[in-house]
Structure 1
Amino acid sequence: MTLQLSIRDIRPAEYEALGQLMVRVYSTLDGFPAPAEQPRYYEMLANIGRLSEKPATHVLVATTADGELVGGIVYFDDMAQYGSGGTATQEKDAAGIRLLGVDPKFRGAGAGKALAQACIRRARERGHAQVILHTTAAMGVAWKMYEQLGFVRSEDLDFLQEQLPVFGFRLKLQL
């Protein structure tokens, strides 16, 4: 199934719907902590749209031709805003992407890849030398997609989010 998608910045009227989608997606990942185990993380997911109010931060959404919300991702032009554990926030000349989520009914239609590629294009257009991201073992589908896009494991970016191992990746950009 291939969808005709529009990728754009989130609108305030979509904040709540994207937050609900993200909580639903992440809470159903096999092997990922439940909301009761990491309430602060799920609070951030529920309020994902508000991240677009931070400097150099953009929440992108994928929508269908008729405006249905398919998924979202957060793009960071400044790694100081990235907000993860580990050393990623200290990376220079880098953009970051976090919190990719796609509505399960649209999985396999290319929305996750389209969202990630939109972030990579933005990073390239802004002259960044690399893109940084993190994922977990529970996010196997995303992990495989990131590798197909050219991201390479970067163990120096790994960290623990409470008891959850989080794995860093880099994509070097040719400018």
Structure 2
Amino acid sequence: MEITIRHYRPDDRDGVNRVALAAFAQYARDYDDWAGFSAGIKRMADLALDADLLVAESGGALVGAVVHVGPGKPRGAMYPNGWSVIRMLVVDPAWRGRGVGRRLVAACLQCALDARAPVVGLHTSPIMASALRLYLAIGFERDMELPPNRGVEYARYVLPGSEVRTAIAALNV
């Protein structure tokens, strides 16, 4: 089935939040405070207020989403203001392994390229093994340990802007 990547629309709100919660549900036992953590996860659509929320759709169903925070947009203190940031890559568990995540990451990297960001940053955890493998395979490098989030280890990963085109090509989308 064909997968389309497009910008978020307000009527996507419930679908984005549903997919985000479903995508993170496998980690419920890993977080010390799953109730608190998941309360933020299920409000993923709110990120569209200050960033580019991209969605993956197939046959009218929302199957994934990701956020691109462009240079100059509000972001966490761990990221310099001029960088692009990838946040909250989520794929409906029933759609994993079909290239949805790759397509969403490629779309985010294209946003970063269009914004001429000098660096693309993201943070992730070893428990998110599939996402981490994807990021490392396309050239992201771990550059900084972050404080644990509700008992889960995290680190920041970076990709120089000069390597974004190569990373997009490596995604084979």
TM-score (norm 2): 0.85
The residue aligned with 1:131 is 120
The residue aligned with 1:62 is 56
The residue aligned with 1:28 is 26
TM-score (norm 1): 0.84
Given residue 102 of structure 2, which amino acid in structure 1 is its aligned partner?
K
* Pairing partner for 2:2 from 1, 4, 8: 4
Q: Deviations over 1:73-112 (max 9, x none)?
A: 11101466224xxx423x1421001111101111111110
- SS at 2:126's partner residue? coil
The residue aligned with 1:161 is 149
Determine if contact 1:88/1:132 at 8 Å carries over to the other structure: no
The residue aligned with 1:88 is 78
Runs of 4+ residues over 4 Å off in structure 1: none
The residue aligned with 1:173 is 161
Moved more, 125-134 or 71-80: 71-80
Change (3 A) 1:32 1:58: farther
The residue aligned with 2:171 is none
Measure, in 2, the Cα distance between the counterparts of 1:116 and 1:23.
19
| Cα drift, residue 49 of structure 1 | 0.9
Determine if contact 2:71/2:117 at 8 Å carries over to the other structure: no
Structure 1 alignment gaps of length 5 or more: none
* Pairing partner for 2:66 from 59, 65, 73: 73
Measure, in 2, the Cα distance between the counterparts of 1:151 and 1:166.
15
Aligned-CA RMSD value = 2.0
Measure, in 1, the Cα distance between the counterparts of 2:17 and 2:114.
28
Measure, in 1, the Cα distance between the counterparts of 2:67 and 2:30.
19
Given residue 111 of structure 1, which amino acid in structure 2 is its aligned partner?
V
Q: How many residues align?
A: 163
Determine if contact 2:22/2:93 at 8 Å carries over to the other structure: no
| Cα drift, residue 59 of structure 1 | 1.1
1:114 aligns with 2:112: no
Measure, in 1, the Cα distance between the counterparts of 2:148 and 2:6.
32
Measure, in 2, the Cα distance between the counterparts of 1:139 and 1:27.
12
